[in-house]
Amino acid sequence: MGKEECKTMLDALNKVTACYRHLVIALGSTSDSQNLREELKRTRKKAQELAVANRTKLTALLKDKTISKEDRSEYERLWVLFSSSMELLEVDMKRSLELGQNFPLKVPTRHLIQTGMTGSTTTVAARAISVQNIKYEADSNIDTVDLGDLQAEISQVSQMMEEMEMKVQVAPWAVEAKQEAGAELKSSMSVGNSSVGVISICEEEPKEHESGGSRDAGFASICAVVIFFVIVTVAVVLGYLVINMS
Amino acid sequence: MTIRNTLRDYGQRYRPRMACLKKAEKVLLEMQDPKTGVKSQPQRLVITTIPHAITGEDIIAWLADRFQIDTQEARKFGSMLVALGYIYPLQDHKRLVVKPDASLYRFQTPYFWPTQQWPVEDTDYAIYLAKRNIRKKGILELHEQEQYNRLHKWMNHKWDFIVMQAKEQYRAAKERKKPDRVVFDCQERAYWVVHRPPPGTVSAMDYGLDRRVDPNADEAKTHDFYERIMIFTQQSIMRPRVKSSVSIGALVKYCATYNSHDPFLSKCLPSNPWLTDDVTYWTLNMPNVEIPTKMRVERWTFSFGELLSDPRGRDDFRLFLKKEFSGENLAFWESCEDLKWGTAATMREKAEQIYKTFLARGAPRWINIDGKTMEITVNGLKHPHRYVLDAAQTHIYMLMKKDSYGRYLKSPVFKDTLKKAICPEEHKFTDAQLDQNAKNRRPSLSPIILRQQEQEQRAKMAASATVDITQLCRFTTPVPHLAVYSGITDYPSANASPSLPFLTHTPACPSPISVALDSTSASERRAETSEGEGEGNPQTRAPIGGNVSKPRMAFSLRRLLKRGCTPSTMFASLSPKCPSAAGTSSRIQPISPDQPTQAPPRRIGNFFQIKVDIPPECRIYPIESEDEEEENRAASRSGVGAKEIICPWESLTPQNGMG
């Protein structure tokens, strides 16, 4: 159904927006690097694709005059979600442009701020683009080249948003949210197929079938412990048999 | 259609209000340089170690060295960097200062640097609060909880998005390694401490209102534009000019006089509350404090405007005038202020009240203004508006300034106040005490509560107001229930500005109408029971001017005059009710030389220019001699041709028994 598809795509866009923000926050700090710029670029591309897909879908749905009232209010809610995501994305893109210009990588004296962050953001980007491992294949001057692309993309996005506003007559303040205050504390997400799964408040790994790369360290250690006990048990059994046999 | 934030680009370009930001960024880049910057060390937490932490003393030392300044200034500079949000403290994250010890700080990531170009969005704050909610499992701090609820209410249409985004961001953050996660949490928290400060702290990013118009942009040369230029230049030509020697002389004199009173230029005793977080200075200088400070009393001697605009000074002046029995001037001035600053609905009543009390012939508190001003005022009162009494008010102001003010400054009242004035000792706080003070900061009372308190006080004072009557005619003598403007109460708002004499809004007086109402109703009740005459008429008569409350005073007065002869008995019957009346009456007695106790009845009307036709057997009796016999005789009187004081702009409606 149209609604389910929409929701899936919106969730994906939401995820990408969140990850993009994390990546932009790392810009200019000590965890900045060539890779980060490439990650930003690819996340952006993904975001663009999703945005376009969402937009076409939602505009088509909203332009349809033959839908019922509840359907229409639901689509309007989805529209508000979409436009808010796009606003965040646009701001983040503009900021990444500014930060990219202020903190170029290929200068003799790099002055990245010593913020205390030293790790890489690979995992975040992997989550965003939904791949297991990212292969970095960009050239060395990605930071300057990319900025030109970025500017073009920003203007594209702004244009798209303006078009959206013109074409679709949705009053965002009239939309009522389904979630009440404190909804983020609840353990389940009200989402369909994108199945980010059941999350609990404590730090467990989220079961996602989309992002294979997001194994938590905890999961690995639990696996290791389990395997260890299995091996110990097997060893004990074998030893007992050996002793019995001899 | 989505309402986009069209004000996004109104930052630095339009008004470089915070030019310090760009400069601070340069300094920061130098500071964080691994080779030549501040020495960094790793921060050891329970399991993890996080690099790039710096100590407060290192920061201060580096700044002092780099800019060749002393430690004190380096510390202030460092605190500014922290307050703006370029560096954040790792311990005690809510106090944005640099402590000169081993407490740790860290540099903020450029995304979170303060900038005017990217306004701080409420959406982001809502997402942050939601994330914090998840992290803290529902236990937010009080102000965060309040903000959360408020945002939930106002951004309700976006709330789904906020929840979704919060969850996603929370999960994305978990993708990173533990040390980075900790750092990121600290960074975000620090960012929001700067931009949404907890209550009791001031954000360094406050810079006032933003301009919607770019002042550097070229303006289109339309007809309007040129017209504005023409008007401006015409007004510039017409402006009255003063010789520069005069104006500069005035400026120099002002600076010299006020130099020691300015808290920026000289010491503020006992200590400046903004610097030391100690509010003694404010408590000592409250508007209605008993004993003022020496500096405050000194300011009263600078000019009359200063004296009047300070509520305590005005109280003192009022006391002095009371002793001199010329309090009506100040009372008139204050009621004019009340009229100017009051609500439009009450203006008409107030104007009439003022006229009756101060300006009419034979008014109880008649003020002395010259004929021309009186004429202008009375003419103006036909159509009362806010500034109708301006001429008279100015006249009285000048009168007070030239005459009473000089005498006040030489009077024992002032000298007494001056002697009693306190001069507080300067505070000398140690650093630890300053920290303590900062922790003990409390918000002051809400202005709503203050206003309620003021009103209660005013009502209390009004109830026990003493009457200060200047002229004594038989109609005014002991008129306790006409508790007119006594001007005793004075609890104005605390924002007196000394430079503007008429700025302070001082609704100082109880509305005479309300007081008159209270006591009048009581008196009427008593009168009715005692006399029991057919007094239905005055009560039911349609009031002049369509205002029920206003002519109540007139009613009682009219009723007494109707009876014709001994209003004093009526007054006498009233006097026991108002305990202060006896006191005032005994005080008033000596003033009027024209009140012989056993004088033969005579036409006293001409003295006060009231055309009164009083039956000859009328007597003026002192208040104390309440005579039952007289009362009975009074009851039998009928018809009097007495004319009472009514406003000239009101037409005389034909009334029974009135001439």
Which structural domain, as residue segments, surrounds residue B401?
Answer: 292-420
**pTM for this one?**
0.55
What does pLDDT average to over chain A? 77
Position A27 scores a pLDDT of 85
Nearest CA in chain B to A181: B152
Position B257 scores a pLDDT of 93
Q: For residue B53, what is the domain's CATH number?
A: 1.10.10.10
Q: How far apart are the C-alpha atoms of B616 and B334, rounded to whole Å?
A: 40
* Yes or no, beta carbons of A115 and B174 under 8 Å apart: no
* Yes or no, beta carbons of B160 and A19 under 8 Å apart: no
B10-14, B24-28, B205-209, B591-595: range with lowest mean pLDDT: B591-595
Question: Looking at beta carbons, which residues of chain A come within 8 Å of B123?
Answer: 84, 87-88
Which residues are registered as beta bridge partners of A113? A29
Exposure string of A66-92, with b = 16+ CB inside 10 Å and e = fewer, is: eeeeeeeebbbbbbbbbbbbbbbbbbb
| Position A232 confidence tier, pLDDT thresholds 50, 70, 90 | very high
In a domain, B92, yes or no: yes
- Ramachandran category for residue A242: left, alpha or beta (phi over 0 → left; psi -120 to 50 → alpha): alpha
Q: Can you tell me which residue has the tokens 């609905």? A: B345
**Which of A102, A114, A215 should we substitute to test contact with B (largest number of B Cβ atoms within 10 Å)?**
A114
Q: Are B462 and B512 in contact (CB under 8 A)?
A: no
* ipTM of the complex model: 0.74
Residue after which a domain boundary falls, among B378, B399, B420:
B420
* Yes or no, beta carbons of A177 and B29 under 8 Å apart: no
What is the tens place of the pLDDT at every residue in A37-85?
888 888 888 888 888 888 888 888 877 777 788 888 888 888 888 989 9
* Yes or no, beta carbons of B175 and A28 under 8 Å apart: no
Interface contacts (A, B; CB < 8 Å): 186
Question: Looking at beta carbons, which residues of chain A come within 8 Å of B28?
Answer: 113
In a domain, B438, yes or no: no
Of B620, B466, B445, B649, give the one whose Cα is nearest residue B544. Answer: B649
In a domain, B215, yes or no: no
Residue A126, classed as helix, strand or coil, is helix
Q: How far apart are the C-alpha atoms of B367 and B328, rounded to whole Å?
A: 6
Q: Is the pLDDT of residue A95 over 70?
A: yes
Of B40, B107, B138, the CB nearest to A182: B138
Of A28, A199, A216, the CB nearest to B109: A28
How does strand B612-613 pair with strand B49-55? unpaired
Note the helical H segments in B136-158: 142-154
Exposure string of B613-625, with b = 16+ CB inside 10 Å and e = fewer, is: ebeeebbbbbbee
Position A189 scores a pLDDT of 39
Distances (CA, A) of B608 to A70, A159, B373: 83, 85, 20
Of B157, B163, B168, the CB nearest to A172: B157
Q: For residue B378, what is the domain's CATH number?
A: 1.10.167.10
Position B391 scores a pLDDT of 93
Residue after which a domain boundary falls, among B93, B117, B141:
B117
What is the tens place of the pLDDT at every residue in B34-70?
888 888 888 888 888 888 889 999 999 999 999 999 9
Question: Looking at beta carbons, which residues of chain A come within 8 Å of B50?
Answer: 116
* Yes or no, beta carbons of A28 and B160 under 8 Å apart: no
**Which of B171, B178, B185, B191 should we substitute to test contact with A (largest number of A Cβ atoms within 10 Å)?**
B171
Of A11, A123, A161, the CB nearest to B175: A123
In a domain, B298, yes or no: yes
Radius of gyration, alpha carbons of chain B: 35
Shortest distance between the Cα of A231 and any Cα of chain B, in A, equals: 30
Residue after which a domain boundary falls, among B117, B139, B170:
B117
Q: Tell me the torsion sign for CA atoms B471, B476, B478, B481.
A: negative
* Yes or no, beta carbons of A181 and B166 under 8 Å apart: no
Of B1, B109, B177, the CB nearest to A115: B109
In a domain, B105, yes or no: yes
In a domain, B386, yes or no: yes
Of A81, A126, A176, the CB nearest to B161: A81
Position B410 scores a pLDDT of 94
**Which of A117, A188, A210 should we substitute to test contact with B (largest number of B Cβ atoms within 10 Å)?**
A117
- For range B166-179, the mean pLDDT: 89
Of B107, B173, B177, the CB nearest to A114: B107
In a domain, B103, yes or no: yes
Question: Looking at beta carbons, which residues of chain B come within 8 Å of A17?
Answer: 165, 168
Of A131, A122, A121, give the one whose Cα is nearest residue A208. Answer: A131
In a domain, B27, yes or no: yes
B99-103, B146-150, B306-310, B464-468: range with lowest mean pLDDT: B464-468
* Yes or no, beta carbons of B2 and A30 under 8 Å apart: no
Position B647 scores a pLDDT of 62
Position A151 scores a pLDDT of 87
Position B465 scores a pLDDT of 60
Position B620 scores a pLDDT of 41
* Yes or no, beta carbons of A28 and B107 under 8 Å apart: no
Question: Cis peptide before B270, with omega less than 30 degrees from 0?
Answer: yes
Q: Alpha carbon B538 to chain centroid distance?
A: 41
Which residues are registered as beta bridge partners of B105? B54, B89
Q: Are B211 and B14 in contact (CB under 8 A)?
A: yes
Position B489 scores a pLDDT of 41
Q: Is the pLDDT of residue B451 over 60?
A: yes
Burial-class residue B644 by CB neighbours within 10 Å (0-12, 13-18, 19+).
buried
Position A206 scores a pLDDT of 29
Q: How far apart are the C-alpha atoms of B226 and B224, rounded to whole Å?
A: 5
Shortest distance between the Cα of A47 and any Cα of chain B, in A, equals: 15
Structure tokens at B224: 């309007």
- Number of domains chain B contains: 2
Shortest distance between the Cα of B70 and any Cα of chain A, in A, equals: 26
Of B107, B111, B148, the CB nearest to A25: B111
* Yes or no, beta carbons of A18 and B172 under 8 Å apart: yes
Q: How far apart are the C-alpha atoms of B136 and B130, rounded to whole Å?
A: 10
